[in-house]
Amino acid sequence: MRDNFDTLAERRIQEAIARGEFKNLRGEGKPVRINGLYFLPQKLRAAYTVLKNSGYLDKDPQENKRLQPMGEEFNIPKMNTSISKQELSAKVFDHSVMMDSLRKR
């Protein structure tokens, strides 16, 4: 079922390109900015939004990229162990909140 949907969507996109429907759009040729919270488990999204909007979390994405290698400091199981994606996301979120709170001091 999913493959049929993907094929249909791809075909319609290609037809629209051929008709020129994507010409002269705002932002053409620029990367799409994704601002969603898809990387967080559903139950953490509201808390993250509240913390970020209140100024508690760092708003500079470059700072977050700099701190990502520090993720090795906390216990992430090896890939051959069984941990859910949500558990891992929760650990990363907790670590990010901890690092942000330390930076604010």
Q: What is the pLDDT of residues 82-99, one digit of tens each?
A: 667 777 777 788 888 877
Give the chain's residues under pLDDT 70.
1, 34-35, 58-83, 104-105
* The predicted structure's pLDDT at residue 19: 94
Residue 10: its pLDDT value, please? 92
Q: How far apart are CA 94 and CA 105, in angstroms?
A: 17
Structure confidence at residue 93 (pLDDT): 82
Q: What is the pTM of this model?
A: 0.32
Q: Give residue limits of the domains in the chain.
A: 2-104
Pairwise CA distance, residues 36 & 27, whole Å: 18
| Residue 30: per-residue pLDDT | 83
Exposed, middle or buried by CB within 10 Å (0-12, 13-18, 19+), for 105? exposed
